[in-house]
Amino acid sequence: MKNISTQPADLRLARLYQERKACHPMPKQLQDEILSQFETTQSQPYWRKTPVWGTTLAACFVLVLSFQFLPQQQSQNADEAIVLQDIAKTEQESLAADLPPKEHATADVQGQQARKKQQSIPAAPSPSLATTGAIVVQAKLLPVSEGQTQRIAIDCLGKPISLGEHNLARLSDDQWLDIHFHHDGTIMRITKNLDFKGCPGD
């Protein structure tokens, strides 16, 4: 519905309006200018006039930014690993304290244990392990007599982890366990110098 009445007065108004409009056409110069501006836009590099390219560039920018933040994240992982290691170290010390009295019989043995314990705890996790998400804690166990078994239990991030009873017969003075943890505190694997039978979480 165009809503223009056919009454004489309205028709006359419409005629006057059209006459007025006809007297003022759009200047040719302006028309040419619009077209030349359009040509300029068209001649711009493809990546500037196509929205898809703009989006792709923006995505690349975000990607680059995220890579920039990655080392910071890795550093956070390393810090986390150190904290976890400290907890494990504390637990390791308490484990040593909980051993049967006969194991701590002489001062010489205790001194030897302390020395070995110190040796067994690494200063910091290696960067390669930190970046792959693994944490290694070396748990030094005391030597036991032939045929004896020992229950190994550690507390990691407030969560008790039982390694079960194992035959430690062949564990000599300079041997220790390498317990590899995941970041969530679960054990990834236990390695080194121990004939380990049925490691839970392995």
Partner 1 sequence: MAQWLLRWFKTTKQYNTEQLMQAFSETGEAALLDELVKRLGDDIYHYLLSQCDAATAADICQATWLKVIEKRQQYQDKGNVKGWLFTLARNQMLDHMRQAAHWQTLSISGDDHISECMERVVGAEQDLIQFNKMMARLPFLQKEAFILQQEGFSLMQIAEITGENLETIKSRLRYARNFFSQVINLTQQEEAS
Question: Can you give the binding site for partner 1, defined by CB under 8 A?
Answer: 1-4, 9-10, 12-14, 16-21, 23-27, 30-31, 33-35, 37-39, 41-42, 51
How many Å apart are CA 55 and CA 77, to the nearest integer? Answer: 32
167-199 as b/e, with b when 16 or more CB fall inside 10 Å? bbeebeeebbbbbbbeeebebbebeeebebeee
- Tell me the closest approach of the beta carbon of residue 10 to partner 1, in angstroms: 8
- Tell me the closest approach of the beta carbon of residue 16 to partner 1, in angstroms: 4
Cβ-based nearer residue to partner 1, 49 or 192: 49
Cβ-based nearer residue to partner 1, 16 or 169: 16
Cβ-based nearer residue to partner 1, 41 or 73: 41
How many Å apart are CA 126 and CA 132, to the nearest integer? Answer: 10
- Tell me the closest approach of the beta carbon of residue 42 to partner 1, in angstroms: 7
Cβ-based nearer residue to partner 1, 24 or 102: 24
How many Å apart are CA 28 and CA 73, to the nearest integer? Answer: 62
How many Å apart are CA 195 and CA 198, to the nearest integer? Answer: 10
